[in-house]
Structure 1
Amino acid sequence: MEPIYYEVNLGWQHDRMGQLSSPALTTTIEVATPPDFPKGMAGIWSPEHLMVAAVSSCFMTSFLAISENSQLAFETFTCRAVGKLEKIDNVLMVAEITLFPEVVIVQESDMDKANRVLLKSEKVCLISNSIRSKVSMQPTIQVEVQA
């Protein structure tokens, strides 16, 4: 496979806030120091939030592709993700990201398949495979209640 490049541009706006853009995208994202740090700004995406979001969204897109290839019928997919920032060996880092995917499947007989798809999605997520943070998963699989 040939290398693929993803270009992102960042322009400082004011204080501790900048704006992300890409020539390949139509929307921009404000980014700032999180409020947990001096001069941080509440209500604006931080690099830490974007990192956790990158892992979660990569996991979702992996799940969607593998579900399609596995012919797993599901009604909904959601995923809460929590990143843990801590000091390790005197360096601040997002040491751990925990994914909490919830999948509602159509048939109870697909329970094992859904679990396999989730596990494979966690394993092949290219963002998780590109970072030092430990990524783990605590999935919930439910069967759609028929009315």
Structure 2
Amino acid sequence: MSEHRYEVEVVWSGQTTDYRSYSRDHELLTAGRPPILATADPKFRGDESRWNPEQLLVASLSDCHMLWYLHLCASAGVVVTSYRDSAVGVMDDERFQTVTLRPHITITDPAKIDTAVGLHKEAHSKCFIANSVNFPVTHEPTVVAE
């Protein structure tokens, strides 16, 4: 089995002299890509205009699923012309309880809708991120033909 490495820098500066006043704003960096402006969840004194770790986890699950799904559709002869996911993660005070992916997919051939819906199960089983979390990731896909 091969090993894949993903290197990311998290960069913050400031002063933690008081819990209420220090900035939670920071940057996520990796070579050759624009920075991601990040912060804490607004409930924990973060800036609403920046991404927080919880959103990034939900986005990673959604993105991984989409990339596998598109791969499987291309291999199965299902032509996808549009994919949009409205993913929702639910946490309690300590951990994620669930993430629900709600992709809305448009394909070219109405005869392949059942195949397109069925490929979500396989995409889920192949998604590295979904296979790495300890909470349920569910799918509520909608597939329509142009």
Same fold (TM over 0.5): yes
Percent of paired sites with the same residue:
28
Give the AA of the match of 1:28.
P
Q: Note the 1:68-87 alignment, pairs <5 A.
A: 68-87=74-93
- Identify unmatched segments of 5+ residues in structure 2: 15-22
2:36 is aligned with 1:26: no
When the two structures are aligned, how many residues end up with a matched partner? 138
Give the aligned CA root-mean-square deviation in angstroms. Answer: 1.2
Match of 1:124 among 123, 126, 130: 126
CA deviations on 1:90-137 (whole Å, 9 max, x unpaired) are xx1122100001111111110111012122112211100011121001
Q: Which moved more, 1:48-57 or 1:111-120?
A: 111-120
TM-score (norm 1): 0.88
Q: Give the equivalent residue in structure 2 for 1:57.
A: 63
Of 29, 35, 50 in structure 1, the residue corresponding to residue 42 of structure 2 is 35
Partner Cα separation in structure 1 for residue 124 and residue 113 of structure 2: 17
Shift of residue 65, structure 1, vs aligned partner: 1.0
1:51-81, Cα deviation, whole Å (9 max, x unpaired): 0000000011111111111111122111111
Aligned with 1:36: secondary structure? helix
Superposed CA offset, 1:12-71 (max 9, x none): 144111111012x3211111111122x222111000000000000001111111111111
1:127 partner amino acid: I
Between the aligned partners of 1:122 and 1:2, the Cα distance in structure 2 is 21
What is the TM-score when the length of structure 2 is the normalising length?
0.89
- 2: CA distance, partners of 1:115 / 1:123: 14
What SS does the aligned partner of 1:120 have? helix
* 8 A Cα contact 1:13 1:19, kept in partner: no
Higher deviation after alignment, 58-67 or 11-20: 11-20
* 2:96 alignment partner in structure 1: 94
| Distance in 2, Cα, partners of 1:116 & 1:67 | 10
Higher strand share: 1
Hey, what does 2:112 align to over in structure 1?
A: 110
**Which runs of 5 or more structure 1 residues have no equivalent in the other structure?**
none
Partner of 2:17: none
Q: 2:13 & 2:83 partners in 1: Cα distance?
A: 36
